[in-house]
Amino acid sequence: GQQLNQSPQSMFIQEGEDVSMNCTSSSIFNTWLWYKQDPGEGPVLLIALYKAGELTSNGRLTAQFGITRKDSFLNISASIPSDVGIYFCAGQGDYGQNFVFGPGTRLSVLP
C-alpha cells in the first residue's frame, strides 16, 4: 500500500530557531495535511493543501504542496517551547480514498 516517509524522525533545536521538515511518498497525492500532536493528546490539524505548488501559512507555520505531488514541506519560524510535539503529515490520493499518515517528526525545543 501507499506509504509516507517523514524526515527527520526527530530533531532538537534551540528556541528561536527555524525548523524544516518534509514528507515524501512514492505515490502521487491530491491533498496533503499537516497535524501536530501534543503528548497525550489527539492530533490537531494545522494546515491543509489542495493544489500542487500551493504555499499556505498559519501563523508561524508555512506548508507547501510539492510540485511533483509526491512531497510536502512544513516550516516553523522562530520556534517556541510550545512547538514541542510530534508533527504528522497525511496524504490522500484519489477523491474519497482514506488518508495515509506518515510516522511523524518529533520536535524538541531547548530553552
Partner 1 sequence: DVKVTQSSRYLVKRTGEKVFLECVQDMDHENMFWYRQDPGLGLRLIYFSYDVKMKEKGDIPEGYSVSREKKERFSLILESASTNQTSMYLCASSLIAGEQYFGPGTRLTVT
44 sits near partner 1 (criterion: CB under 8 A):
yes
Q: What are phi and psi of 54, to 5 degrees?
A: -60, 140
Q: Is 19 helix (H, G, I), strand (E, B) or coil?
A: strand
Minimum Å gap between C-beta 90 and partner 1 is 7
Cell 495515509 maps to which residue?
100
33 sits near partner 1 (criterion: CB under 8 A):
yes
Is the Cβ–Cβ distance between 87 and 19 less than 8 Å? no
- Closer residue to partner 1, CB minimum distance, 20 or 92: 92
Site string for partner 1, 45-84 (x = CB under 8 A): x--x------------------------------------
CA separation for the pair 78, 22 (Å, rounded): 18
| Grid coordinates belonging to 92 | 490522500
Contacting positions for partner 1 (CB under 8 A): 1, 31, 33, 35, 40-45, 48, 88, 90, 92, 95-99, 101-104
